[in-house]
Chain A
Amino acid sequence: MAFQPKITAFVCNWCTYTGADLAGTSRLQMAPEVRIIRLPCTGRIDPLFVIKAFERGADGVIVSGCHPADCHYNSGNYHARRRFAIFRDLLDFVGLDPRRVIFSWVSASEGGKWRDIVDSAAATIRELGPCRADTGDEGRGRLACAS
């Protein structure tokens, strides 16, 4: 059976979640691998979520929220941007392929952009292959690994 990646998306309630809803309302077809977890704001999205998602078998992660200056909470996305800039550098440094973590700004009106993000994330992760089971502790979960 072909590899079907697991991709977890952490999105803010106001922009990207609504944008993903819009994609649905517009009946835009997209890759089925992405599962959305709704948070109030990108400011709420913790690098720990991403680490945990990989530990629990995700092959890729999407983090998405309101564009700069559009944050429902004024500045949550700016704090998130700093946090994830550093986190991404760290992942890259320890050899966890940063292409597995996709960051984007998707507004409530960008259903099409959301579809594109989902499709390209799915394509990228399919190409990269699974995050290899690498825990020495099969069955309880997998650990992200460089491809």
Chain B
Amino acid sequence: MARIGVFVCHCGENIGRTVDASSVAEALRSHPGVVHAEDYRYMCSDPGQTLVREAIAANRLTGVVVAACSPHMHERTFRKVVAAAGLNPFLCEMANIREQCSWIHEDREQATGKAIAITRALVEKVKANTPLETIRIPIERRALVIGGGIAGIQAALDLADGGAEVVLVEKESSIGGHMSQLSETFPTLDCSQCILTPRMVEVAQHPRIRLYAYSEVEEVSGYIGNFEVKVRRKARSVNETLCNGCGACTQACPNRKVPNEFECGLGKRPAISVPFPQAVPNMPVLDRERCARFMAIRKGITKAVCGKCAEACTRGAIDFAQEDRFVTEKVGAIIIATGYQLYSIGKEQPEGEGLSGYGEYGYGQVPDVIDGLQFERLASASGPTGGRIVRPSDGRVPKRVVFLQCVGSRDPSRGIPYCSKICCMYVAKHVMLYRHKVHDGEAVVFYMDVRAAGKGYDEFTRRAIEEEGAIYRRGRVARLWRDGDVVKVQGFDTLSGEPLLLDADLVVLATAVRPQPGIRALAQKLSVSCDQHGFINEAHPKLRPVETNTAGIFVAGACQAPRDIPESVAMGSAAAAKVLGLFSKAELEREPTVARVDAAHCAGCFLCERVCPYGAVGRREVRDRAGRLVKVVAEVNPGVCQGCGTCQATCPGKHVEVQGFTDQQIYAEIAAL
């Protein structure tokens, strides 16, 4: 038999002015199942709470309704009070007679009547309530970081320094990401590698970081606190434990004409190589597409060809037969930090991306039209030219360099409406690097706007213009073409209104920042969402910038939107802090208001599985004692379910129920109103 207690609050004058609280208590006293009803001036005050606690004990109450303010205000307060009196906290409900009654009505009689009706409905609901226990989920205190660029490195180091184990997965053969390709960084012009490589070494040497370079995330299952990740360790053809990084193999390789990806195609590398001298791990990868031995095998030649690298290796580390291996790691949280790619704006574009390219700029056809990253390599002291800025076509020092901003960005008609954010700044930096190295050179910049918001950023661009004499022309370039020795630049200056035709020795395109090509597939594996351009969606654009909509999965750096280095680092640290916060508890506590399936009656149509926004519904086989399959039923993972109840409204037989909002409870409320 239900023994319900009703506690009506005056909230000083807030409720009392228009609702006669003692009449409400009086009316409820005669309501079936109510054994105790009283009113008090401030129910949330200490004496008020004591009143509730004592009444629970004195009347052996089985449920409590506090008729007061919104549950958003004091549901937690009163559930704690109820729990302190030894009653399950989920046997307490709030009847909102302040925000939704006394404050919105003037007529005392009407408001009191409505307050009585609201309170009665909640009494009926609470009769149908059942005790619920907080769900506790164990947490695996290890984190997976996907992507070893600066954002991933920062996140991994912060996590590891904070005491967590970290698994860092990088698809390239070395960590470092795009930052390792940059010459110098804005706005301080310090050398990118000088500040990055110590951090890379720290990663390699950290006792709590397990680095899987040249590896990719293959499969992800599980949920917050309990993910299982399968990592594909791609075959390097080099035994990781034997190799000591001496580089003898790369010296021995006879094929030295492979375009070097790290140098953005501006240099050459052997078929077995490390991307750059400071690579972490310092271990080569054999490019089977370019290796003479593997090319011969593909042609059907059975005789072993070449093998010079293996001969050169004193440790016998070259392993031509090596295959991809898989390792499975258990982690409690995941940080996505896969970074960006530059929009390759040639005519040919992969299908289905909705991008048409910019064929009129001759990128890929005219050798002296390059993109921003290629310029970084030209300017880099460790680059293919040793830091001499020269033309890729003839090695001559360019006397006039034209920089084009917003190539591909802010152009909705061609597929990318967003601003790539970093280009204004790095173009200004390029201008400076160029002018520092070619004193008599002329730098011309075509821009739409100069967006230099950031600490020291505007001062930096002003310097490029005022001190370095860069000529900024507001306008777009229509066409680039090769004319004998020069690149013709046809554009328009929208400020002066004059058409322009310039002869450039070198043209640098600040092409749009895009997410990495495999991002959608990865997002699918992780059950997180991307925006229309493929950037990972954060949970809230303002308040939850490094969380995703999937609990336990976080995001950092340029895979979420175009980001510069300080922002990527800040996001990496922020995501790490979020993960450490999660790991600070031994167990994850979750509200028990999650869905539960009635397996006995579930018909297994799995409509619930299809509508669940969180992928919380799985399938479970039901077998009889002899082990024969009886049926397959839906099962809700309480660690993933957020309790929205869409499954329940969709289930034709109503055989899945959200605890705390069961059909029985809602029915009772409807019937009482």
Q: How far is the CB of A75 from chain B (nearest CB, A)?
A: 5
Would B104 and A27 count as touching, CB distance under 8 A?
yes
| Stretch in contact with the other chain, from B165-173, B263-271, B464-472, B664-672 | B664-672
Would B673 and A45 count as touching, CB distance under 8 A?
no
Would A35 and B114 count as touching, CB distance under 8 A?
yes
Would A52 and B667 count as touching, CB distance under 8 A?
yes
Would A56 and B671 count as touching, CB distance under 8 A?
yes
Chain A CB within 8 A of B409 CB: no
Chain A CB within 8 A of B519 CB: no
Contact flags A6-50 to B (C-beta < 8 A → 1, else 0): 101000000001101111110111101001111111011110010
Would A58 and B673 count as touching, CB distance under 8 A?
yes
Which residues of A are found within 8 Å of B110, using beta-carbon distances?
32
Contact flags B395-410 to A (C-beta < 8 A → 1, else 0): 0000000000000000
Which of B99, B113, B649 has its CB near the most chain A CB atoms (within 10 A)?
B649
Q: Closest 4 interchain pairs by CB?
A: A44-B645, A24-B99, A43-B646, A73-B644
Q: How far is the CB of A85 from chain B (nearest CB, A)?
A: 14
Chain B CB within 8 A of A121 CB: no
Main secondary structure of the interface of B (DSSP, over half): helix
Which residues of A are found within 8 Å of B71, using beta-carbon distances?
38
Would A24 and B100 count as touching, CB distance under 8 A?
yes
Other A-B pairs, 19, CB within 8 Å; known A6-B673, A32-B107: A17-B70, A21-B99, A24-B70, A32-B111, A32-B114, A35-B121, A40-B644, A40-B645, A43-B611, A44-B649, A46-B649, A52-B667, A52-B670, A56-B670, A56-B671, A73-B613, A73-B646, A76-B645, A83-B649
Say which residue of A18, A27, A44 sits within 8 Å of B661 (CB atoms): A44
Would A49 and B666 count as touching, CB distance under 8 A?
yes
Would A41 and B673 count as touching, CB distance under 8 A?
no
Would A74 and B661 count as touching, CB distance under 8 A?
no
Chain B CB within 8 A of A99 CB: no
Chain B CB within 8 A of A62 CB: no
Interface residues of B (CB under 8 A from A): 70-72, 96, 98-101, 103-107, 110-111, 113-114, 117-118, 121, 549, 593, 611, 613-614, 642-646, 648-650, 654, 658, 661, 663, 666-667, 669-671, 673
Say which residue of A20, A24, A28, A76 sits within 8 Å of B646 (CB atoms): A76
Bound Cα distance A38, B671 (Å): 14
Q: How far is the CB of A26 from chain B (nearest CB, A)?
A: 8
Which residue of A is nearest B672, CB measured?
A: A56
- Assess A40 versus B673: contact at CB under 8 Å? Given A73-B642, A73-B644: no
Which residue of A is nearest B549, CB measured?
A: A74
Cβ < 8 Å to B, chain A residues 49-94? 49, 52-53, 56, 58, 71-76, 79-80, 83
Which residues of A are found within 8 Å of B658, using beta-carbon distances?
40, 44
Would B104 and A29 count as touching, CB distance under 8 A?
yes
Which residues of A are found within 8 Å of B70, using beta-carbon distances?
17, 21, 24
Q: How many A-B residue pairs have CB under 8 A?
A: 119
Which residues of B are found within 8 Å of A32, using beta-carbon distances?
105, 107, 110-111, 113-114
Bound Cα distance A80, B648 (Å): 12
Bound Cα distance A82, B119 (Å): 33
Q: How far is the CB of A20 from chain B (nearest CB, A)?
A: 6
- Assess A35 versus B104: contact at CB under 8 Å? Given A41-B646, A76-B644, A80-B649: no
Would A44 and B648 count as touching, CB distance under 8 A?
yes
Would B644 and A44 count as touching, CB distance under 8 A?
yes
Q: How far is the CB of B668 from chain A (nearest CB, A)?
A: 10
Which residues of B are found within 8 Å of A6, using beta-carbon distances?
673
Cβ < 8 Å to B, chain A residues 118-132? none
12 contacts between A and B (CB under 8 A): A18-B72, A24-B101, A27-B104, A32-B111, A35-B114, A35-B117, A39-B661, A43-B644, A56-B671, A74-B549, A79-B646, A115-B104
Bound Cα distance A17, B99 (Å): 10
Bound Cα distance A30, B111 (Å): 11
Which residues of B are found within 8 Å of A56, using beta-carbon distances?
670-671, 673
Q: How far is the CB of A132 from chain B (nearest CB, A)?
A: 19
